[in-house]
Amino acid sequence: MKRILYILHAILLSGVTAIAQQRPPAISSPEVHPDQSITFKYFSRKAQKVTLNGEFLKSPVALTKDTSGVWSVTVPPVKPDIYPYSFTVDSVQLADPSNTYIFANERFKRSIVDVPGDQPLIHSLQNVPHGKVSYRYYKSGTLGTTRQLLIYTPPGFNPNGKTKYPVLYLIHGGSDTEETWTTVGRANLIADNLIAQGKAKPMLIVMPYGNVRPAPMPDFTKDMVADIVPFVEANYPVNKDSKSRAVAGFSVGGGQTLNIGLTNTDKFAYICSYAPYTATEEFQKNFTNWSPDAAKINSQLKLFTISVGIDDFLYEPVKKNIAMFEEKKIKTKSYIVPGGHTWMNCKQYLATTLQELFK
Amino acid sequence: MKRILYILHAILLSGVTAIAQQRPPAISSPEVHPDQSITFKYFSRKAQKVTLNGEFLKSPVALTKDTSGVWSVTVPPVKPDIYPYSFTVDSVQLADPSNTYIFANERFKRSIVDVPGDQPLIHSLQNVPHGKVSYRYYKSGTLGTTRQLLIYTPPGFNPNGKTKYPVLYLIHGGSDTEETWTTVGRANLIADNLIAQGKAKPMLIVMPYGNVRPAPMPDFTKDMVADIVPFVEANYPVNKDSKSRAVAGFSVGGGQTLNIGLTNTDKFAYICSYAPYTATEEFQKNFTNWSPDAAKINSQLKLFTISVGIDDFLYEPVKKNIAMFEEKKIKTKSYIVPGGHTWMNCKQYLATTLQELFK
């Protein structure tokens, strides 16, 4: 027995030492306190200056270092929501190394802090039935490759049952990925909560990867219509009429939404564009000399919404866009709300329009 | 029409300008070349020194800066595999800002580079039928919270069909997350490929989040047996006998695998431990004064494997572990292979043992 104990002791020590050597001290960051103040921490003995940048801040704030090399700052209570943030360490911007929740994005590496409210927010994990999010591969004939997409199926979903569902095709922003609508936008939890409250219809939400580079933008419109929609309709129990299809998207995805939706009003009866970025060749080509049959389009569309925040850097162009559609006599419902070009706003745009789909 | 053109021009310009202002120049990193050399890039006008750290390198290499502030280095051809890497910018270690593929981990922030082979590797996305990976929530009575887990279902899976599947419960390493086995370990693609080749049985692979803090480790064993397995068996068409359940895991998860498996040989007939870290109170409590009924355990277990690389920092303790099990007359199959405590090795451990499960 002594020998076994000796062996185990050796095992314990060697493992612990090896792991201890390769790791910085354990710090917990961020820590959201009951009063909604938040403490952020970063470890570095060598850094000269560490600042926190967050969408809950007007301007960056400095962290201060203790004798062990742990930098920290506590910011005063912030409005409950999910916020992106990052550190700048000397000249380097980076995500919080202690935080697993990363903003899914191709260019910005930021972390996410979830500040809960006294009452659960529409994007909170609540004690309701949960749908699931599945990662799938589909073949894109248009792009000549296999791409990944995410599909939310609602609670009680039965792939072989008699119930046929409507589908929302939901597109991320410019440098985001197919994961941004779940990791940052919490589209799945917003749907869970609204369905539980009877405010949204049970539906599938398909979240594709919208970036097509270096090919031009129209390729994504084609990918959506020729590849993504057929893949979903071949593999899921869904209705296949335009009244059972919606397309929505944010920023560059909001522009793609306008291109996809308005050039395919026979296929999508619901178009929800969130803070659309429209300075693209595809938009210019589609809408510069556009002479739409407004009566026909208005009869085909059950809903066409454009949402934007008054502090959004795209506020002016979006307003002009809305005016352009109105001038063309296309029926448009606009949501002009407080806030900027942020995913805080984006979650609200989704929560609002989800309640209007397929009704 | 002129007015519309003017408006559109204004839209185009304002959007482009606003987006251009907030972004660094577009760089592509990493770029894997046909000869398997790789170019890494990082943008910073202010940094004094940028180095690349990668598991394909013996030691870090320096990047050099061009006049536009783009740092780059090209490393000579590397053996095809998936490798973690990161940059160190002055004193700051960070993931590659240009790369979406991030190593899912709670502490280390690293990126992943996928170096394809001339022939597809076992973890490559191949032209075979694909299963899907679903993100699910389950209620943990043990931990008093709702936790996320990932479930791989194989190609052709029908949740309401007559086919009942076996289940592998697959646990990540110490500071990893429930996503590490898919994002870094490619468990889903390895399973797709082995199933397509007829080398692995179609099975479900359940990937829970194994970290339990600050609660002691035994809570995860309890969570697995009392919460995770019942959740899976209530929601999926699976066989519920021990011969249809396997548990496997890497590093800390390899230690958890030993604790879960060997204290529940009536529930799991397959135990596959990859480079186990066993210096835990739970392991000490379970195995220090352990007097197992070896004949009974050997009759209950269909397979008990322990894998480790000869350059693994846990190689010596794992060897002692294997000796301890042999001394106790527990039948053990050991895989001692080249390589270190890496996910390159880990993928191979999984690919090897997947072929031995449920047969």
Query: In this structure, are A53 and A167 located in the same domain?
Result: no
Q: Please check whether residue A320 lies inside any domain of the structure.
A: yes
Round to whole Å and give the CA distance between B202 and A125.
32
Q: B91 in a domain, yes or no?
A: yes
Q: What is the DSSP string of A294-337?
A: HHHHHHH-SEEEEEEETT-TTHHHHHHHHHHHHHTT---EEEEE
Range of the structural domain that residue B307 is part of? 132-354
Task: Check residues B161 and A188 and name the one with the higher pLDDT.
Answer: A188
Contacts of B287 in chain A (CB under 8 A): 8
Contact predicate A260/A268, CB 8 Å: yes
Let me know: does B87 contact B51? Beta carbons within 8 Å: yes
Per-residue pLDDT reduced to its tens digit, B167-194? 999 999 988 999 999 999 999 999 999 9
Q: Is the ipTM of this complex over 0.90?
A: no
Closest CA to A44 of A109, A102, A90: A90
Can you give the pLDDT at residue B16? 36
Final residue belonging to a domain, choices A80, A115, A150: A115
A111 and A182, same domain (yes or no)? no
Specify if A126 maps to a domain. Answer: no
Q: Please indicate, yes or no, whether residues A37 and A65 belong to a single structural domain of this protein.
A: yes
pLDDT for residue A1: 35
From chain B, the residues in CB contact with A19 under 8 A are: 174, 277
B192 and B87 in a common domain: no
Reported as type and span, the H/E element at residue B245 is strand B245-250
Q: Would B300 be classed as within a structural domain?
A: yes
With 0-12 CB in 10 A as exposed, 13-18 as middle and 19+ as buried, what is A50? buried
Residue B313's alpha-carbon distances to A16, B34, B38, B325, in angstroms, are 11, 33, 27, 20
| Domain end (from A115, A146, A162) | A115
* Alpha helices (H) along chain B: 2-22, 180-183, 187-196, 218-223, 229-235, 252-262, 281-287, 294-300, 315-327, 343-354
Q: Which residues are bridge partners to B50 per DSSP? A: B89
Residues B140 and B108 in one domain: no
Chain centroid, CA B241 distance in Å: 26
- Compare CB distances from A279 to B11, B125, B146 and report the shortest one's residue: B11
What digits encode the pLDDT tens for the residues B114-143? 999 999 999 999 999 999 999 999 999 999
Nearest to A134 among B19, B134, B321 (CB): B134
Helices and strands in chain A: count of H runs, count of E runs: 10, 17
CB contact under 8 A, B10 and A317: yes
User: What does the alpha-carbon distance between residue B41 and residue B60 come to, in Å, rounded to a whole number?
Assistant: 14
- CATH code assigned at B101: 2.60.40.10
Predicted pLDDT of residue A215: 63
Q: Does a structural domain hold residue A204?
A: yes
Q: Which pLDDT tens digit goes with each residue over B262-281?
A: 999 999 999 999 999 999 98
Could you say which of A87, A115, A143 is where a domain stops? Answer: A115
Q: What is the dihedral of CA B335, B337, B341, B346, to 10 degrees?
A: -60
Asked whether residue A289 falls in the same domain as residue A153, the answer is yes
pLDDT band at B215 (very low <50, low <70, confident <90, very high): low
Q: What is the structure's pLDDT at B12?
A: 36
Intervals of chain A under pLDDT 50: 1-23
Are A14 and B94 in contact (CB < 8 Å)?
A: no
Average pLDDT, chain B: 91
**Residue ranges of E strands in chain A:** 31-32, 38-43, 50-54, 61-62, 64-65, 70-75, 81-89, 92-94, 111-115, 132-140, 145-153, 167-171, 204-207, 245-250, 270-274, 303-309, 333-337
Least trusted range by pLDDT, from A179-193, B12-26, B248-262: B12-26
Position B11 scores a pLDDT of 37
DSSP B349: H
A18 chain-B contacts, CB cut-off 8 A: 313-314
Q: Do A133 and B135 touch (CB under 8 A)?
A: yes
- Asked if A334 and A239 sit in the same domain, the reply is yes
Model pLDDT, residue A109: 82
CB B317 within 8 A of CB B254: no
Cα dihedral: A116, A120, A126, A131 (round 10): -90
Count the alpha carbons within 13 Å of B13 in the hemisphere toward its beta carbon.
6
Strands A333-337 vs B245-250: parallel, antiparallel or unpaired: unpaired
DSSP for residue B137: E
Cis peptide before A214 (omega within 30 of 0): yes
Chains A & B: contacts with CB separation below 8 Å = 176
What pLDDT score was predicted for residue A160? 86
The verdict on residue B17 lying in a domain is no
Amino acid code (one letter) for B205: I
pLDDT in the model for residue B156? 93
Look at residue A42 in the predicted model and tell me its pLDDT. Answer: 95
Q: Closest by alpha carbon to A117, among A168, A64, A193?
A: A193
Identify whether residues A34 and A165 lie together within a single domain.
no
Predicted pLDDT at A195? 98
What's the N-to-C CA distance of chain A in angstroms? 72
Statement to judge: residues B138 and B203 lie in one domain: yes
B314 contacts A7? CB cut-off 8 A: no
Q: Which residues of B touch A24 (CB under 8 A)?
A: 107
Verify that B185 and B74 share a domain, yes or no.
no
- A89-103, A326-340, B63-77, B220-234: least confident range: A89-103
Contact A7 B320 (CB under 8 A): yes
Q: Which residue has the tokens 């929609």?
A: A229
Check whether residue B137 and residue B188 sit in a common domain: yes
Q: How far is CA B55 from CA B31, B78, B79, B173, in A?
A: 16, 10, 11, 17
Residue A2 falls inside a structural domain: no
Q: Is B213 exposed, middle or buried (0-12, 13-18, 19+ CB in 10 A)?
A: exposed
Q: Is residue B20 part of a domain?
A: no
Q: How far B298 CA sits from the closest chain A CA (Å)?
A: 21
Longest CA–CA separation in chain B, Å = 89
**Set of chain B residues whose Cβ sits within 8 Å of the Cβ of A278:** 11-12, 15
What is the pairing mode between strands A167-171 and A204-207?
parallel
Chain B: nearest CA to A305, how far in angstroms?
19
Q: Are residues B307 and B231 in the same domain?
A: yes
Give pLDDT, residue A214.
66
| Amino acid letter, residue A161 | G
> What total of structural domains would you count in chain A?
2
Which pLDDT band, with edges at 50, 70 and 90, does B102 fall under?
A: confident
Residue A187 sits in a domain whose CATH number is 3.40.50.1820
pLDDT in the model for residue A8: 36
Contacts of A285 (CB under 8 A, 6+ apart): A218
pLDDT tier at B100, thresholds 50, 70, 90: confident
More confident residue, A102 or B327: B327
